[in-house]
Copies of this chain bind each other. A is one copy, B any other.
Amino acid sequence: MEKITLNSPFDMHIHLRDGDMLKLVAPLSSHTFCGGIIMPNLVPPLDTKEAVVAYKNRILEAIGSDDFTPFMTLFFKPYTKEFLEDVKDEISAIKLYPAGITTNSEGGVSVIDTEALAPTLNAMAELNIPLCVHGETNGFVMDREKEFMSVYEALAVAFPKLKIIMEHITTKEAVELVQKYDNLYATITLQHLFITLDDVAGGMLKPHLFCKPIAKRPEDKEALLNIALSGHSKIMFGSDSAPHPKHKKEACGCAAGVFTSPIALQVLVELFETHGKLENLEKFVSQNAIDIYKLTPSSKAITLVKKDFVVPEAYEGFGEVVVPMYAGETIKWSLEK
C-alpha cells in the first residue's frame, strides 16, 4: 500500500479554546502534529505571563501526552521591553488583532498606527519575537484583506528586523505581497486551498464553511494553491482550525470558524498528491516553519497510507459536539494505525 511519512508536522495557527472544548479538541488537534502556534484570543485575552503559562499547562493536561508542543502567543497590546524580556521564553510570537475583527478580538488594537506601536514592535524585533497579524480592515467583507495590504507594507517597511506573519491569507494580493518584503511570511489554512465564497453561499448557505477571513474568489484560491503547492519558503501551513459547538454553528447567526485539525494532514496529502507535488508537502507543513520560527523539530513522524478515511459526522466529548470540515465525506488517505 502507498505510504508517506511526514517528519515533525507543525500547525502554525491553531485555536484550542478552553474548558470542555479544549479537553475535546486538544487531543484531536495534537494527534497528527508535533506542535503548533496557539492563538491567544480567549476571554479575557492572554496578555500576562501568568495567563500564558497557566493556559499552556491546561493545554498540556488536555493533550495528555508530551509529543505535541504548544507554542504560546501573547495577545498584542502595547507592552514594555522589560515585560517582553520577562515573558520571552514562554512565547513564540505575539498576535495582533484589529479590534472586533474575529472571535474574541474585541480587546485588539483599533487603529494600526505604526508610530504608536513602535516601542512594542521595536522591542519585539530586538528580542526576535515574531508578530502574527490578523490582516483585515473593518471594510466590506470581500475587501477587508486587500485593504489591509497597505498596513502590512507600512509595518514591513517601518520594522525591517521584525518578522511579520500574515496569518491565514486568502487573496492573490496577499500572495503577491508576502513575496515582496523580506520580513513578511504567511500561513494558509486548509479550507482556503479548497473553497471560494461559492462554497459558502453560492448554493445553499454552508455555516460549517463560514470563516474569517471569508473565502474569496476563484483567482484568489488559485494563487493560494499555487504558492502552497510550490513549497515556497515563506509559506507555512496554519489550519486556523477553530471549533465552535455544533448547535452554535448551525444556529441563526453562526460564528466564523472551520474545524479541520483532525483531518488536515490527510486532506493535504491527497491535495499535494493530486497535483503531483507531494515532494513539497513537508516544506509546507514542517520545514518552512522550522526555518522561519527557528524551531527545534521533534522526532515525531506521521505516516499516512493510501486508504479511504471517512470523516466523522462530528467529534463529541466533555459535553461538546464539533463538526469537522468534510464531515461524512471520504478522503483517500488515512493515518497509519
A residues near B (Cβ < 8 Å) are 140-142, 196-198, 200-202, 204-208, 210, 214, 217-218, 249-256
Contact = CB atoms under 8 A, between A and B. Distances in A.
Which 3 A/B pairs are nearest by Cβ-Cβ distance? Answer: A141-B202, A204-B253, A205-B254
A140 B214 contact: no
A244 to B, nearest CB: 11
B141 A197 contact: yes
A134 to B, nearest CB: 15
A202 B213 CA distance: 9
A79 to B, nearest CB: 29
B202 A205 contact: no
A293 to B, nearest CB: 32
Contact of A200 (B201, B249, B251): B201
B210 A140 contact: no
26 contacts: A140-B198, A140-B217, A141-B198, A141-B201, A141-B202, A142-B142, A142-B197, A197-B201, A200-B201, A201-B201, A201-B210, A201-B214, A204-B253, A204-B254, A204-B255, A204-B256, A205-B207, A205-B256, A206-B253, A207-B207, A207-B252, A208-B252, A249-B252, A250-B250, A250-B251, A250-B252
